[in-house]
Amino acid sequence: MRIGLDIGGTKIRGVVLDDDGSVRASVRHATGFGASAVIDTAFTVVQQLSERVGLDCSQFSSIGVGIPGTVDIHTGRVTHAVNLGIVDIELGEALSVRTGAPVRVENDVNAAAMGAYHLVGGSAESMVYLNLGTGLAAGIVLGGELWRGTRGAAGEIGHIPIDPRGVVCACGQRGCLETVASGSAVARLWPEGREPSIRALFDAADHGEPPALKARRVLVENVASALRIIVLTLDVELIVIGGGMSSLGEELLAAVCGVLKRWELESPFLAALDIPGRIRFASAGSDMAAVGAALVGRGGHTLPETLEAAR
């Protein structure tokens, strides 16, 4: 049995995954702020999962962790996880020493992509998980395996500039896709909103408020752009949309497909690619990312040396 941890800005979700791929236990806890609080909470989640299935922490085949920030998958080091108050921690080492189990740490979007592939991807030869959260990023699964790229930057499509006249992005470039197609784009595109959430924006647009209608149009068109970029580069069989914005489900799907269908009228080339037919949604609030983290842990024992040294 394997443990998967999905460490997010507000909570840590943990699952125990059986060898047949089914979830045996599931736990969640509010994430603390700062390096030691994150490690403590993660360890607490592992302990509670252990109790649930009647094993000692060290008896799990692996612990896989998905976490935001820059992750060195070889060493388990995590840097720049701003939302978690983490500047630089040896998360893999810390967890493997405390639990006695081999740990593998992965970028949160990649971990969620593995979960999406397991739970939604079916037998697709290729799949992209498009995370529409605060930011916009994709995780790529080819032949059942994560494609991370040579420097872990594969799927960083949120930082492709798509409008030379756009605003400056946090990455320093101008007009990045993320500035117009993500949760963080809502507040900027719709400053009139009382509550700058995607749900509130869609509701206000449904009530016909012009600023909301305009902001929704920009947002939806650029999500469609993201899908088009994915297909025109990777041409994957399936695209699974997840993250905060995906909670809109059918509503978002209908809006995005409306844009794609309009584009298809002008371009038989685009129509032949049938982008709408490739889209699926991850069900919001599921254990998908934690399941994915458990699957990532399967990929090898990142920290056996550390573990041996600590024993």
From 18-26, 196-204, 268-276, 298-306, give the range in contact with its own copies by CB under 8 A: 268-276
**157 forms part of the interface with its own copies (CB under 8 A):** yes
**198 forms part of the interface with its own copies (CB under 8 A):** no
Among residues 52, 77, 188, 228, which is the contact residue for its own copies, using CB under 8 A? 228
- Long-range contacts, 285-288 (Cβ 8 Å, 24+): 285/247, 286/119, 287/6, 287/13, 287/15, 287/23, 287/26, 287/115, 288/112, 288/115, 288/116, 288/119, 288/120, 288/242
From 81-89, 101-109, 167-175, 298-306, give the range in contact with its own copies by CB under 8 A: 167-175
Q: Distance between CA atoms of 136 and 32, rounded to whole angstroms?
A: 24
Among residues 172, 194, 208, 285, which is the contact residue for its own copies, using CB under 8 A? 172
**72 forms part of the interface with its own copies (CB under 8 A):** no
Chain centroid to Cα 237, Å, comes to: 19
Q: How far is CA 106 from CA 68, 165, 244, in A?
A: 9, 35, 20
Among residues 269, 285, 308, 311, which is the contact residue for its own copies, using CB under 8 A? 269
- In sequence order, the β-bridge partners of residue 146 are 141
Cβ density class 272-296: b for 16+ within 10 Å, e for less: ebebbebbbbbeeebbbbbbbbbbb
**154 forms part of the interface with its own copies (CB under 8 A):** yes
**299 forms part of the interface with its own copies (CB under 8 A):** no
Among residues 73, 156, 182, 282, which is the contact residue for its own copies, using CB under 8 A? 156
Among residues 1, 97, 142, 200, which is the contact residue for its own copies, using CB under 8 A? 142
**237 forms part of the interface with its own copies (CB under 8 A):** yes
Contact (Cβ atoms closer than 8 angstroms) between residue 35 and residue 41: no
Our CB check for its own copies shows the closer of 126 and 182 to be 126
Our CB check for its own copies shows the closer of 232 and 309 to be 232
The conformation of residue 195, written as its DSSP 8-state character, comes to S
Q: How far is CA 122 from CA 1, 14, 141, 234, 276, in A?
A: 22, 23, 12, 18, 18
Q: Closest by alpha carbon to 170, among 82, 68, 77?
A: 82
Least Å from the CB of residue 248 to its own copies:
24
**263 forms part of the interface with its own copies (CB under 8 A):** yes
DSSP3 helix / strand / coil % (the chain, rounded to 5): 45, 25, 30
- In sequence order, the β-bridge partners of residue 64 are 4, 104
Our CB check for its own copies shows the closer of 162 and 200 to be 162
From 31-39, 59-67, 144-152, 242-250, give the range in contact with its own copies by CB under 8 A: 144-152
Our CB check for its own copies shows the closer of 93 and 178 to be 178
Tokens of 297: 């842990």
Least Å from the CB of residue 287 to its own copies:
28
- Residue ranges in contact with its own copies by CB under 8 A: 125-126, 138, 142, 147-157, 159-164, 171-173, 225, 228-237, 263, 266-270, 272-273
